[in-house]
Structure 1
Amino acid sequence: MTLEYYQRHAQDFFSTTVNVDMASLYHPFLQHIPERGRILDAGCGSGRDSKAFLEKGYQVDAFDASSEMVSLASQHTGLGVKQMTFSDINDVERYDGIWCCASLLHVSAEELPDVMSKLARALKTGGTWYVSFKYGETERVKDGRHFTDLTEQGLEKLIAPLTDIVLINNWKTIDKRPDRDEMWLNALLQKRA
Structure 2
Amino acid sequence: MTLKYYQDNAQTFFDGTVNVDMSSLYETFTRHLASGARVLDAGCGSGRDAKAFKEMGYQVEAFDASSAMVELAREHTGLPVQLMSFADVNWKEEFDGIWCCASLLHVPAEELPGVMRKLADALKPGGVWYVSFKYGDGEREVDGRRFTDMDEVGLRALIRERKKIEIFELWTTKDKRPHREEVWVNGLLGRR
TM-score grouping bracket, smaller chain normalisation: over 0.9
| Pairing 1:1-193 to 2, within 5 Å after superposition | 1-192=1-192
* Alpha-carbon distance in structure 1 between the residues aligned to 2:29 and 2:58: 13
List per-residue Cα deviations over 1:23-72 (Å, max 9, x = no partner). 01000100001100000000000000000000000000000000000000
> Offset at 1:151?
0.5
List per-residue Cα deviations over 1:97-121 (Å, max 9, x = no partner). 0000000000000000000000000
Q: Which runs of 5+ in 1 are unaligned?
A: none
Q: What is the SS of the residue equivalent to 1:33?
A: coil
> Offset at 1:179?
1.5
* Alpha-carbon distance in structure 2 between the residues aligned to 1:143 and 1:25: 27
* Alpha-carbon distance in structure 1 between the residues aligned to 2:81 and 2:152: 31
List per-residue Cα deviations over 1:55-99 (Å, max 9, x = no partner). 000000000000000000000000000000000000000000000
List per-residue Cα deviations over 1:140-187 (Å, max 9, x = no partner). 000000000001000011011111100000110000000101000001
* Alpha-carbon distance in structure 2 between the residues aligned to 1:18 and 1:161: 33
* Alpha-carbon distance in structure 1 between the residues aligned to 2:159 and 2:170: 13
* Alpha-carbon distance in structure 2 between the residues aligned to 1:151 and 1:4: 27
* Alpha-carbon distance in structure 1 between the residues aligned to 2:156 and 2:169: 11
TM-score of the aligned structures, taking structure 2 as reference length? 1.00
Identity of aligned residues (%): 64
Q: Which runs of 5+ in 2 are unaligned?
A: none
Instruction: State how many pairs are aligned.
Output: 192
Q: What is the SS of the residue equivalent to 1:99?
A: strand
> Offset at 1:138?
1.9
1:99 partner amino acid: W
1:145 partner amino acid: R
* Alpha-carbon distance in structure 1 between the residues aligned to 2:105 and 2:161: 19
1:71 partner amino acid: E
| Structure 1 runs (4+) greater than 2 angstroms displaced | none
Q: What is the SS of the residue equivalent to 1:36?
A: coil
Kindly report the root-mean-square deviation, in angstroms, between the aligned alpha carbons of the 2 structures.
0.4
2:50 partner amino acid: S
* Alpha-carbon distance in structure 2 between the residues aligned to 1:47 and 1:125: 26
